[in-house]
Amino acid sequence: MWGQRESDPYAQYYSSSDGGSINRFLDLQKVLIALSIFFIMLFFRKVDLPQTSAIVTRIHRAITYEMDLASILEGLKSQKFIKAVPTLKDVLNEKRGDPSLISKQFIAPLTGKVTKADQRHGIDIEQIEGTPVKAAAAGTVIQVAEDAELGRMIKIRHEGDVVTVYARLGEVYVKLGDNISQGQIIGTVGEKGLAENPGLYFEIWEKGVAQDPERWLDFEEKI
């Protein structure tokens, strides 16, 4: 029936008064041990001998060890070099090239409606012809060329073996070997070429592997 449970053969053992008596006995035992230690230390302090002094010192160390250990640990927490040690999570993310960490160093090359490029690794950012195009991060220009499909393009190598590609450009303001700062105007949006609308074609590569730019950068408009 509801509200009933099977009888527990150990229920009386758990709730018996004997259990309470045992607990009271253990508490009393702790008090007696503490008093014994106190009187022993008091006695040894009265007897001024090298042996008794050593015993008192050892007992004092044993009693205060836990308190001292807690103080040491608390002191270590406040040290700058302890705070500066990276966590295991940070180290693993850095080795994997976690976009959430690296993307903080990059900005969008321009604003506009973002669409996935057909059969390519990058994205199209729609914008009117002549719009300035900015470098996503500081780096060095490793290629300035003209592609049959993508038109004029620029490749910039950044820290961490990351390369960004800017294509379908009109004007180009940089040359091979130039050191570029983040946000620097490197060119302008060109004609639409083979695309439906004018805009910038943009790619991100890390260690030779194409990345999804939308995972790396924050774009205001997406499709």
Say how many C-beta atoms besides its own lie within 10 A of residue 96's C-beta: 9
Q: Name the residue ranges covered by the structural domains of the chain.
A: 11-80, 101-222
Considering 35-39, 53-57, 87-91, 145-149, the range whose residues carry the highest mean pLDDT is 145-149
Give 3-state DSSP helix, strand, coil % of the chain, rounded to 5. 40, 25, 35
pLDDT value, residue 170: 96
**Tokens of residue 32, six digits:** 């007696």
One-letter amino acid for residue 30 of the chain: K
Which are the contacts of 218, defined by CB distance < 8 A and separation ≥ 6? 103, 108
Tell whether the torsion through CA atoms of 72, 75, 81 and 84 is positive or negative. positive
Burial 152-186 (b: 16+ CB within 10 A, else e): bbbbbbbeeebbbbbbbbbebebeeebebeeebeb
The rounded distance, in Å, linking the Cα atoms of 29 and 105 is: 64
Q: Is a pLDDT exceeding 80 seen at residue 178?
A: yes
pLDDT value, residue 192: 75
Question: What is the enclosing helix (H) or strand (E) of 210?
Answer: strand 209-211
pTM here?
Answer: 0.54
Options 2.70.70.10, 3.30.70.20, 3.30.470.10, 3.40.50.2000; CATH for 101-222 is 2.70.70.10
Considering 9-13, 45-49, 138-142, the range whose residues carry the highest mean pLDDT is 138-142
Q: Is a pLDDT exceeding 90 seen at residue 72?
A: no
pLDDT value, residue 25: 61
pLDDT value, residue 8: 45
pLDDT value, residue 61: 66
